[in-house]
Amino acid sequence: MNSLFGLFLLYVAVSLPFTVFLLTGYFASLPGELEEAAAIDGASRLPTFWTIMLPLARSGLITAFTLNAIGLWNEAFLALVFVQSTDKQTLPLALLGFLAKQQYSGADYGVLFAGVVIIVLPMLLLYVWLGRRIIEGMTLGAGK
């Protein structure tokens, strides 16, 4: 309660099932012959994973990272429940508090929309930058 580290752990716990589901399908679509070839060459399971399978899964990892980042960046409910002090608020929670304050003192839509742009712009730029990788990662892990 009222801790950014606790909120971080809660966000990890919430996003972990989706990430495991997405990456399980993605890793299952990777060719198993590469693992077999590495085993024949004498590589154990951990170096095979780090040197062969993980670089091949870059699109899936970028997809999982981007979708989780967008979902958690816009998340306000868990922060509203578990963070009480104003100095530890997340951006969506601060914007929600600003909106509530504006309802009583008169709406200043210019400042409100500037806050919305501050919240939306980083994720929009991330999506524009990694959009091709997201689509590639979603389609490669779809079928086996």
Long-range contacts of 124-129 (CB under 8 A, 24+ apart): 126/66, 126/69, 126/70, 127/66, 127/70
Summarize pLDDT for 48-71 with one digit per residue, the tens.
Answer: 989 888 888 888 888 888 889 888
Note the CATH architecture for domain 4-140: Orthogonal Bundle (1.10)
| Residue percentage of the chain with pLDDT more than 90 | 12
Residue 120 dihedral angles phi and psi, to the nearest 5°: -80, -35
Single pTM value for the model: 0.74
pLDDT of residue 144: 47
| Residue percentage of the chain with pLDDT more than 70 | 94
